[in-house]
Amino acid sequence: MTQQTASTKTSSEVNGGMVNGIHMETLLGTVNAIAEEPELGAAKFRASNVWLGGNHNRSTITGFYGAKQEIAHKQKFVLDADEPPILAGNDNGANPVEHLLNALAACVTTSMVAHTAVRGIQIQALESELEGDIDLRGFLGLADDVAKGFTDIRIKFKVKADVQNLERLKRLTAFSPVLNTITQGANVDIKVEEM
């Protein structure tokens, strides 16, 4: 990372401190701080959710823990989820698995943009289409041998960038935390208490 950092500083100076719309001094400041003091990398992200009746529920996201401190977002983020009518909802929000695809799209995109930026690769445009396969028999409890989650997810990126080797861009997606959570798995502990 040290070499990349050095070469990027030159690149970002040329572009007024911005590469791919990212303020490189800020990004590299965070990278360097965590490199020097690894405990600064420990972060806790959070969401609160309230059920609104039926398949409609709402998450609120206000802040997180990082760099050894509680950090508030500039604004409160409110995200609604519901199901379409065929799944007995009212379409008041994307459904949970669509929210998962959004999280994945956002994360892989951000990872590609940030990691190209620190390597001095400029991206002009980037779009993606995601599709995930799920057999609803799993969720509905109709077949024990059917997976309850997504089995296969496909992401197709279209990119306009100053790089001939698109495989290099693809490799940078491997840094994505959401991609890694989905492909490598995470432990999820659930507690249910009386209100």
Judged by CB under 8 A, the chain residues 79 through 118 that form the site for its own copies are: 79, 81, 83-88, 90-91, 93-111, 113-115
Write phi, then psi, for 10 (nearest 5 degrees): -60, -50
50 binds its own copies (CB under 8 A): yes
| Contact pick of 3, 14, 16, 53 for its own copies (by CB under 8 A) | 53
Residues 6 or more apart in contact with residue 37 via CB below 8 angstroms: none
Judged by CB under 8 A, the chain residues 141 through 160 that form the site for its own copies are: 141-143, 146-160
End-to-end CA distance of the chain: 48
121 binds its own copies (CB under 8 A): no
The Cα 38–Cα 32 span in angstroms is 10
Nearer to its own copies, 3 or 10 (CB): 3
195 binds its own copies (CB under 8 A): yes
In the complex, the smallest distance separating the C-beta of residue 10 from its own copies, rounded to whole angstroms, is 18
In the complex, the smallest distance separating the C-beta of residue 16 from its own copies, rounded to whole angstroms, is 13
Residues 13-42, one symbol each (x = binds its own copies by CB under 8 A, - = not), give -------xxxxx-xx--xx--xx--x-xxx
- Nearest-Å Rg of the Cα atoms of the chain is 20
Residues 160-189, one symbol each (x = binds its own copies by CB under 8 A, - = not), give x-----xx-xx--xxxxxxxxxxxxxxxxx
Please name the amino acid found at residue 90: N
| Contact pick of 9, 11, 122, 139 for its own copies (by CB under 8 A) | 139
H/E stretch holding 27: helix 24-36
Count other C-beta atoms under 10 Å from residue 171's C-beta: 12
Tell the burial category of 188 from Cβ atoms under 10 Å away from its Cβ (0-12, 13-18, 19+): exposed
